[in-house]
Amino acid sequence: MEIFFQNIFNALQWGSFYALIALGYTLVYGVLLLINFAHGDIFMVGAYIAFFVATFLLGSYGVIDPGTFTGPVIVALAIPATMILTSLVGVALERIAYRPLRDKGAHRLYVVITALMCGLLLENGNLALLGASRKRFPDLLEKTVFSLGGISVTNLKILVIAAAIGVFLLLHFIVTRTKIGMAMRAISYDKFAIPLMGIPINNVIVFTFILGSGFAGLAGFLFVMSYPVLDPYMGAIIGWKAFIAAVVGGIGDIRGAFLGGFLLAFVEIGVVAVFPSTLRDLLAFSVLLLILWWKPTGMFGMPQTTKI
Amino acid sequence: MQKYSFKALLLAITVGFVLAVHFQLVDQYVTTVAMLMGINIILSTSLNVVNGYMGEFSCGHAGFMCVGAYVSSVLSVLLFTKDRVFGPALLPEGFAVIGVPLVILIGGVAAALAGLIVAVPSFKTRGDYLAIITIAANYIIISCLENMDVIGGPRGFQGMKRVVGAMEDVWDIPWMPMLVLVGTILSVWAIRRFVSSTYGKGISAICQDEVAAEIMSVNTNKMKLVAFMLSSGLAGVAGGLFAHVYGYVNPQSFNILKSTECLVMVYLGGMGSLSGSVLSAIVFTLLIEALRFAIPALNALAHQLHMVPASYEIGQVWKWVVLPLILILTMQFRPEGFMGKKELSDFFPFLKKFYQRLED
Q: How does residue A251 score in pLDDT terms, banded at 50, 70 and 90?
A: confident
Q: Considering the entire predicted model, what is its pTM?
A: 0.88
CA distance A15 to A260: 8
Identify the three-state secondary structure at position B204. Answer: helix
CA distance A248 to A282: 16
pLDDT given for residue B38 in this prediction:
94
Q: How does residue B24 score in pLDDT terms, banded at 50, 70 and 90?
A: confident
The answer to whether the CB atoms of A297 and B129 lie below 8 A apart is yes
- The verdict on A292 touching B (C-beta cutoff 8 Å) is yes
The answer to whether the CB atoms of B335 and A128 lie below 8 A apart is no
pLDDT per position as a tens digit, A145-194 = 887 777 778 888 888 999 999 999 999 999 999 999 999 888 888 888 88
The answer to whether the CB atoms of A296 and B139 lie below 8 A apart is no
Residues of chain A in contact with residue B132, where contact means CB-CB under 8 angstroms, are 243-244, 247-248, 288, 292
The answer to whether residue B119 scores a pLDDT higher than 80 is: yes
The answer to whether the CB atoms of A240 and B147 lie below 8 A apart is no
CA distance B201 to B216: 12
The answer to whether the CB atoms of B147 and A289 lie below 8 A apart is no
Please give the residue that has the higher pLDDT: either A71 or A258: A258
DSSP per position, B129-146:
HHHHHHHHHHHHHHHHHH
The answer to whether residue B11 scores a pLDDT higher than 90 is: no
Residues of chain A in contact with residue B323, where contact means CB-CB under 8 angstroms, are 120
Residues A20 and A86: beta-carbon distance below 8 Å: no
Mean pLDDT, to the nearest integer, of A34-51?
92
- The verdict on A286 touching B (C-beta cutoff 8 Å) is yes
Handedness of CA B32, B38, B41, B47 (dihedral sign): negative
Q: How does residue A130 score in pLDDT terms, banded at 50, 70 and 90?
A: confident
The answer to whether the CB atoms of B132 and A247 lie below 8 A apart is yes
Q: Which residues contact A50 (CB under 8 A, 6 or more apart)?
A: A78, A82, A137, A217, A220, A221, A224
DSSP per position, A164-196:
HHHHHHHHHHHHHHSHHHHHHHHHHH-TTTTGG
Q: Among candidates B99, B100, B79, B77, which has minimal Cα distance to B151?
A: B77
pLDDT per position as a tens digit, A198-215 = 889 889 999 999 999 999
Instruction: Tell me which chain A residue has its CA closest to the CA of residue B255.
Output: A237
Residues of chain B in contact with residue A116, where contact means CB-CB under 8 angstroms, are 260, 263-264
CA distance B135 to B118: 10
Alpha helices in A178-278 (DSSP H): 179-189, 201-226, 234-249, 254-274
Q: How does residue B357 score in pLDDT terms, banded at 50, 70 and 90?
A: low
Give the residue from A28, A117, A251, A302 with the most B CB atoms within 10 Å of its CB, the best one to mutate. A117
Please give the residue that has the higher pLDDT: either B74 or B343: B74
The answer to whether the CB atoms of A292 and B267 lie below 8 A apart is no
Mean pLDDT, to the nearest integer, of B129-151?
87
- The verdict on A307 touching B (C-beta cutoff 8 Å) is no
Nearest chain A CA: its distance from B215 CA (Å): 11
Q: How does residue B356 score in pLDDT terms, banded at 50, 70 and 90?
A: low
Q: Among candidates A201, A224, A152, A194, which has minimal Cα distance to A3?
A: A152
What value does the mean pLDDT of chain A take?
87
pLDDT per position as a tens digit, B268-285 = 888 888 889 999 999 999
Give the residue from B129, B216, B299 with the most A CB atoms within 10 Å of its CB, the best one to mutate. B129
Q: How does residue A261 score in pLDDT terms, banded at 50, 70 and 90?
A: very high
The answer to whether residue B72 scores a pLDDT higher than 80 is: yes
The answer to whether the CB atoms of B135 and A240 lie below 8 A apart is yes
Mean pLDDT, to the nearest integer, of A6-26?
91
Nearest chain A CA: its distance from B294 CA (Å): 16
Mean pLDDT, to the nearest integer, of A250-266?
88
CA distance A75 to A257: 27
Number of C-beta neighbours around residue A89 at 10 A: 20
CA distance A143 to B15: 71
- The verdict on A267 touching B (C-beta cutoff 8 Å) is no
Give the residue from A121, A237, A305 with the most B CB atoms within 10 Å of its CB, the best one to mutate. A121
Residues of chain A in contact with residue B143, where contact means CB-CB under 8 angstroms, are 278-279, 281-282, 285
Please give the residue that has the higher pLDDT: either B316 or B257: B257
Number of C-beta neighbours around residue B209 at 10 A: 13
A145: β partners:
A154
Q: How does residue A292 score in pLDDT terms, banded at 50, 70 and 90?
A: confident
Which of the residue ranges A291-305, B138-152, B233-247 has the most confident prediction, judged by mean pLDDT? B233-247
DSSP per position, B222-247:
HHHHHHHHHHHHHHHHHHHHHHHHHS
Nearest chain A CA: its distance from B28 CA (Å): 29
Residues A108 and A221: beta-carbon distance below 8 Å: no
Residues of chain A in contact with residue B318, where contact means CB-CB under 8 angstroms, are 124, 128
pLDDT given for residue A306 in this prediction:
53
CA distance A115 to A113: 5
Q: Shortest CB distance from A125 goes to which of B124, B260, B321?
A: B321
